[in-house]
Amino acid sequence: MADRQKTVMVVDAQGGGLGKQIIMLIRKEALDAHVIAVGTNFAATSAMMKAGADEAATGENAVRVVCRKADLIIGPVGMVIADAMLGEITPEIARSIAQADAKRIMVPFNNCDNYIAGVSDFSVGKLITDAVRHLAATLEEDD
């Protein structure tokens, strides 16, 4: 009997560009995962859905609900910082993601008055590639 497909929650805000790139790379790498995109706004959700998410939802309650289903959560590090992304990450969103039973893969960015030492030498593309590689390795080790 085959193991069930893992559920990966991809979180993004603002225009959804990071989430879109993550989902496109997940699809390009043909990872065996059920991808649920959760945006803090419609633009972010729409961008991720167009990139190939299996399902998508928007808003704070969607984050809470999908966090309960997810095996892995991937998105910008700001997803666990209240008021990050120009305020789109509410304290409830940050708490829900931080306290989820899922493993988290966070893409580090220096923005929204948060500085992450050591990442200034990396391009966004390189950070996303590394995050999706880690996702692939995690999916394989859990099988």
- Measuring CA to CA, which residue among 38, 112, 62 is closest to residue 47? 38
Is residue 23 in some structural domain? yes
Is residue 2 in some structural domain? no
CATH of the domain at 54: 3.40.50
Give the pLDDT score at 74: 97
Give the pLDDT score at 140: 86
DSSP assignment of the chain: -PPPPEEEEEEE-TT-HHHHHHHHHHHHTT--EEEEEEESSHHHHHHHHHTT-SEEEESHHHHHHHHHH-SEEEEEGGGGSTTTTTTTS-HHHHHHHHH-SSEEEEE---BTTB--TT-TTS-HHHHHHHHHHHHHHHHHHT-
Give the count of domains, the chain. 1
Is residue 51 in some structural domain? yes
Instruction: Encode pLDDT of 5-18 as tens digits.
Output: 999 999 999 999 99
Is residue 4 in some structural domain? no
Give the pLDDT score at 111: 64
Domain that holds residue 24: 9-141
Is residue 3 in some structural domain? no
Is residue 20 in some structural domain? yes
